[in-house]
Amino acid sequence: MADNNQDLQKQINEINDKLDQVLHHVNEQRLQRESLNDLADDLYIVGKDAFQSTVDELDKREIEVNVDDLKNLSLRMLRNVENFNHMLDTFESLVDLSKDAGPIVNEAGVDVIHKLHELEQKGYFEFFREASRILDNVVANYSPEDVRELADNIVTIMETVRNMTQPDMLRAMNNAVNIYKEMDTENVPEYSLWKAFREMRSPEMRKGIGFMISFMKNLSNQQQKQSQTTNNQ
């Protein structure tokens, strides 16, 4: 009989423990439900205030909101979620690239700064500043028509400059300049007709006269060829 009473008491104790656990769980559920209700109430109040503030602000700025437009915007955003993901992936790739390329760009920037400093020390910037005065003088003294004519004849000018910079032509011009420098232009001797005639009989003068005649003849022939070419065109 005593053993039966003990078993019965044990079962009762187990039932009581289970009831306590159930009551504890129910109480926790009730507390969570109350917390959720309180949170929902708070969110409702905050959302209502935020919505009212937004409406007041839009009304103050005289902005009309079309519900259909908002709905279409939301639908378009939902349809383009994948595009947004691709855009974010691209942005992340660009960020990673900037992190990887940052040291290289910084090093290149330092090299550029050093090179600019070197050019400044050598006087390049000062030279270009002074050279800009050449362009200022050209703009001040030549009209657009003069520049247009220069452009039309630039090929002929470049051909002339190229021919003048040939070694034999440079030597000839250099010899002429040196001779002129060595001449005493203030004390030029006077020549009578008879003395000039006698000088013309010298080998040097006859060679010089032959050079001038040959030069004039070739110049005339060249001009005739150019005239014929122009007429044929």
- Give tens-digit pLDDT for 83-97: 888 888 888 888 888
pLDDT for 25: 83
Residue 11: pLDDT band (50, 70, 90) is confident
pLDDT at 4 over 70: no
**pLDDT tens digits for 42-98?**
787 887 777 777 767 767 776 666 667 777 877 888 888 888 888 888 888 888 888
Segment (H or E) for 189: none
pLDDT at 165 over 60: yes
Please give the angle made by the CA atoms of 182, 183 and 189, to the nearest 5 degrees: 155
Q: Crossing angle for the helix pair 154-164 and 167-182, nearest 10 degrees?
A: 70
pLDDT for 34: 81
